[in-house]
Structure 1
């Protein structure tokens, strides 16, 4: 069990996290290979929980595998697939297995994924999940009954999207997550750094909880256009797409763009959350390009 991430937050370090997906099957070898390459470069590795409603290995199980190999996870827990009993059971199980960092999520809609006939649960959403974690940390369950076998000590975080069109809605939701106990925030993919700047100066400034800007590796102009077409709320600028389209080596250009964004984020917020789908092994090189020093773990 390691708690480097919580310690780095407490010390006010520039935070670096990265995202990996659990295997779609029973073999975690590729996930482990990728995560091992991130060791020493990030404070913790996010393990997704049915992202985009696509079936993958349990985030709790995958996070435990990382822990067994000395890699600190941030275990994502989404409300879509579990009722309150299941959520509490998984949170207790995660804690018992040594997992400490939890990212509380509502979860993507079923229609986005690969099991479109499945039924959503959504008994809770992210704010109520954060409140539930606070209860479990205080030693009581959802029904305010004392837990006889000791409280948990989880370190909960939440997602935020500084690019939401509704500014009042963004502020209200952010404040609710703060009140519910979120200790850190990881943002969705940032494409508009002016909006991130505005968010940091007008909303996030009400509290000192760290904000980690989501930095996404764009692999090509086609990849960027696909994201624009199919990822709600994301608007990659035409200039960025043209830059990728005109590059002799689009992937290398995408890495340069990501590194430039990391440098921008360093001037605005407390950290970065790196996302490089199927190219996670390139994250250390992007961090080198951005001048981000290795971390201790």
Structure 2
């Protein structure tokens, strides 16, 4: 969406019912953002926005809003993740106002991973809010009031709020309640957790999401090897990579390239089911354009006739 101003490309494409493409990058662990910015440039024109994690897996990295600002200064639209784990409602509101003032417009509201899962297990989790209440707070800020309904005397915000969803959740009723609660709280788009069961995704889209006019982006993860897939099966709750995929990676002469092909096939499958994909290729974000090309997804800045 080259015609939309930076910060509004994802929102404009969503409202136009286009197939949405986002990709995840990790902020640097340190003060040098060069690698992250290089990955962002490789994704420019291929995705509507780059999603910047906020202490994912409770591992300490550069703040998401700072990393997102650096990307947008380089012409790459960002989705700034905001997790409730590390900040109370005062700090959350302060960061959201600051993000808006800096030109960031896309926010993904998250509860946040447990502190014990990360690299500072002795830290104290805050969890003053969780994702649904954070979405409600975002809606208030956009309306021009704070969490106590006091007016924002220096202007309302204009943030495009998104949320996470896990269509593979074992509790179908819980999944439906959570999705509906997030829609009611103001979520304008959804990015899913890693999807391996596309039949389950189709069931979710048909029986739950179809009742609401909200784009859902399927989470596609680049598997680099059979070892990588087995590690995820052991250590990531709620994810089960089918043994057929693990065996396919194990038998491949070039496991990484096989992983690219598998991800591309999943992108193709997602195009028949939902309104977008969210690609995760940890430390190999440079392969995302290849995955999209193999998956038949045209660059987002291509003329509509070519998409």
TM class, shorter-length: over 0.9
- For these two proteins, the number of residue pairs brought into alignment is 297
2:171 matches 1:170: no
> 137, 144, 163: which one pairs with 1:158?
163
> 56, 65, 68: which one pairs with 2:61?
56
Moved more, 137-146 or 1-10: 1-10
Aligned with 1:164: secondary structure? coil
Aligned with 1:34: secondary structure? helix
Aligned with 1:274: secondary structure? strand
Query: Conserved in 1, the CA contact under 8 Å of 2:143 and 2:156?
Result: yes
Give the whole-Å Cα distance in 1 for the aligned partners of 2:168 and 2:7: 33
| Structure 1 residue ranges without an equivalent (≥5) | none
| Corresponding position of 2:280 | 275
2:34 matches 1:29: yes
1:108-150 deviations in whole A, cap 9, x for unaligned?
Answer: 0001100000000000000000000000000000011001000
> 245, 249, 257: which one pairs with 1:244?
249
Deviant stretches of 4+, over 4 Å: none
Query: Conserved in 1, the CA contact under 8 Å of 2:58 and 2:114?
Result: yes
1:25 Cα deviation after fit:
0.3
| Corresponding position of 1:254 | 259
User: RMSD between aligned alpha carbons?
Assistant: 0.7
Query: Conserved in 1, the CA contact under 8 Å of 2:7 and 2:106?
Result: no
2:137 matches 1:135: no
Aligned with 2:178: secondary structure? helix
Query: Conserved in 1, the CA contact under 8 Å of 2:29 and 2:60?
Result: yes
Give the whole-Å Cα distance in 1 for the aligned partners of 2:133 and 2:112: 13
Aligned with 1:268: secondary structure? coil
1:73-112 deviations in whole A, cap 9, x for unaligned?
Answer: 0000000000000000000000000000000000000011
1:296 Cα deviation after fit:
1.5
Give the whole-Å Cα distance in 1 for the aligned partners of 2:253 and 2:68: 38
| Corresponding position of 2:99 | 94
Normalised by the length of structure 2, the TM-score is: 0.96
Give the whole-Å Cα distance in 2 for the aligned partners of 1:245 and 1:71: 36
2:189 matches 1:180: no
1:138-194 deviations in whole A, cap 9, x for unaligned?
Answer: 000001100100000000000000000000000000000000000000000000001
| Corresponding position of 1:197 | 202
Give the whole-Å Cα distance in 2 for the aligned partners of 1:67 and 1:258: 27
| Corresponding position of 1:69 | 74
Give the whole-Å Cα distance in 2 for the aligned partners of 1:106 and 1:296: 33
Normalised by the length of structure 1, the TM-score is: 0.99
> 10, 17, 20: which one pairs with 1:15?
20
